[in-house]
Amino acid sequence: MKIGIVSDSHGSTNAIDRMLAHPAAQGVMLWLHAGDITPDAEYLAMMTEGRAEVRYVAGNSDWPEPGARYDDVVEVAGHRIFLTHGHMYGVRFTTKPLCDAAAQSGCDIAVYGHTHVAEISPGRITVLNPGSVARPRDAMQGSFLIVELERGQKPDCHLIRFA
C-alpha cells in the first residue's frame, strides 16, 4: 500500500495543493500529517475525500484544543506506525525517546516532524521525518515522503522534494 507522509505545512494550503499535484503523490491511499497545523490536515482530508484516508496529530503550533490528539498508532499492511509531532519527545536533540515510545506501542515505524529536517533511518524501528512541505530548514524546497508498505517487508521510503 502506498502512503504519503507530510508535516509542518504551517498554514500553506498551497504547499498541500502542490504536493497532491506531484506525480509521486498519485495513488496514495493513506496520508499521515505529523502536525503543525491541524487545519492543513483537515484541508488535506477535504481535498482527498473518497480517494484516501487522512490521519493526523497536533503539533506545538496547534491551538491546544481539548481532546486534541498528540500521538496515534496507525496500522497498515501488517505494520504499526507511531505518529507524533515530536516536540514532546525532544526530537531536536535525539530520536531515542521517540523510538522507545514507538517500541512500547508495538510499532515498527516512528513518524515525526517538528524539526523541518527530513530523515529516513532504517533500523529495528524505521524512523521517518518528511521534513517541512512549506518551510524547509534542510533545503530550499519543501519535501514529503512516499512509503510503500507490504506485509512482512521493510518499508520502501522515498523523499520527494519539490523541484
Contacts with 29 (C-beta within 8 Å, 6 or more apart), sequence order: 1, 2, 3, 52, 53
Read off the C-alpha cell for 142: 519543501
Q: How far is the CB of 91 from Mn ion (least distance, A)?
A: 10
Judged by CB under 5 A, the stretch of 60-68, 93-101, 124-132, 146-154 that binds Mn ion is: 60-68
Q: How far is the CB of 51 from Mn ion (least distance, A)?
A: 27
Under rule CB under 5 A, residue 36 binds Mn ion:
yes
Residue closer to Mn ion (CB basis): 79 or 114: 114
Under rule CB under 5 A, residue 59 binds Mn ion:
yes
Judged by CB under 5 A, the stretch of 9-17, 52-60, 97-105, 154-162 that binds Mn ion is: 52-60
Residues 155 and 163: their CA atoms lie apart, in Å, by 24
Residues 97-126 interacting with Mn ion (rule: CB under 5 A): 114
Judged by CB under 5 A, the stretch of 34-42, 125-133, 142-150, 151-159 that binds Mn ion is: 34-42
Residues 30 and 140: their CA atoms lie apart, in Å, by 27
DSSP β-bridge partners for residue 122:
none
Under rule CB under 5 A, residue 60 binds Mn ion:
yes
Q: How far is the CB of 87 from Mn ion (least distance, A)?
A: 6
Nearest of 43, 83, 34 to residue 62 by alpha carbon = 34
Laid out side by side, the sheet with 109-111 consists of 71-76, 79-84, 109-111, 126-129, 119-121
Under rule CB under 5 A, residue 131 binds Mn ion:
no
Q: List residues near Mn ion by CB under 5 A.
A: 36, 59-60, 114
